[in-house]
Structure 1
């Protein structure tokens, strides 16, 4: 489970051998987790409010190519 980015309120990670669609995990400091699809940045599962995900989604918007490349590397 490589950590891709640590933000002040959360951590963005990817898992090797994970299922489709390509997605990343956002884990809040209190342990709550949400899955976000890389291509669309839509929430796949989880109960974290959109406002709480704002920093993670802003970072992901600017780094979608990196997230896609890392997904392909971990999930060939």
Structure 2
């Protein structure tokens, strides 16, 4: 599962050839979640409100890049890094 971004201890990853809807995986300490790219809905798992706010902010800024990575992952191609929050 390639890591595409890391910031403030939050790790954003995507699986190759993963199931729809387009989404990304988040790990933060012991917390894990799967979040849709389009709506930023948590499909599975749980994040603290602080972590979810940071992840949402990053996803809003980089939504197009996340969708491009989703398409690359579906085609088993190399994913691009997404700039972290600073």
Higher RCO, 1 vs 2 (CA within 8 Å, ≥6 residues apart): 2
The alignment covers a number of residue pairs equal to 75
CA RMSD of aligned residues (A): 1.2
Separation in 2, partners of 1:43, 1:51: 14
**Structure 2 residue matching 1:52: 3-state secondary structure:** helix
User: Deviations along 1:17-74, whole A, 9 cap, x unmatched?
Assistant: 111101001100x232100000111111112233321111100100000000000001
Contiguous gaps of at least 5 residues in structure 2: 76-86
**Structure 1 residue matching 2:46: 3-state secondary structure:** coil
Preserved CA contact (<8 Å) 1:7 1:56: no
Q: TM-score by structure 1 length? A: 0.89
- Deviating 4+ runs (over 4 angstroms): none
Preserved CA contact (<8 Å) 1:3 1:11: yes
Contiguous gaps of at least 5 residues in structure 1: none
Separation in 2, partners of 1:50, 1:19: 26
**Structure 2 residue matching 1:19: 3-state secondary structure:** coil
